[in-house]
Amino acid sequence: GNSVTQMEGPVTLSEEAFLTINCTYTATGYPSLFWYVQYPGEGLQLLLKATKADDKGSNKGFEATYRKETTSFHLEKGSVQVSDSAVYFCALRSNDYKLSFGAGTTVTVRA
């Protein structure tokens, strides 16, 4: 079956630091890949997505590139802010209608 493995947290950074959260996946076929973000006390929001190999998703300064050869979709941001403190989930959708999520990575950015 499908599965998503993402970097264990928690991650604590200073403002303007570089953030990377690793995500790898196992899936049949050609999945679409996503990063969702959950701010404290809220539901999940789509952050970015990529639907085919070598696609780069980007939003709010975050980027992730769909790497089929390494089955990865790592999330990066060059300069984080306190407002980026949240839980980040990597997810995939294969040829059915289900989303499979990773365990989530808690990121805390300190001023």
Site for other proteins, rule CB under 8 A:
4, 32, 34, 41-46, 49, 51, 89, 93, 97-99, 101-104
26 or 45, CB closer to other proteins?
45
46 or 82, CB closer to other proteins?
46
CB of 75 to other proteins, least distance (A): 15
CB of 61 to other proteins, least distance (A): 20
* CA 109 to chain CA mean position, Å: 17
63-72, long-range: CB < 8 A, 24+ apart: 64/23, 64/33, 64/35, 66/33, 70/24, 71/24, 71/25, 71/26, 71/27, 72/22, 72/23, 72/24, 72/25
- The first and second tokens of residue 16, run together, are 């303007």
16 or 46, CB closer to other proteins?
46
CB of 106 to other proteins, least distance (A): 10
29 or 43, CB closer to other proteins?
43
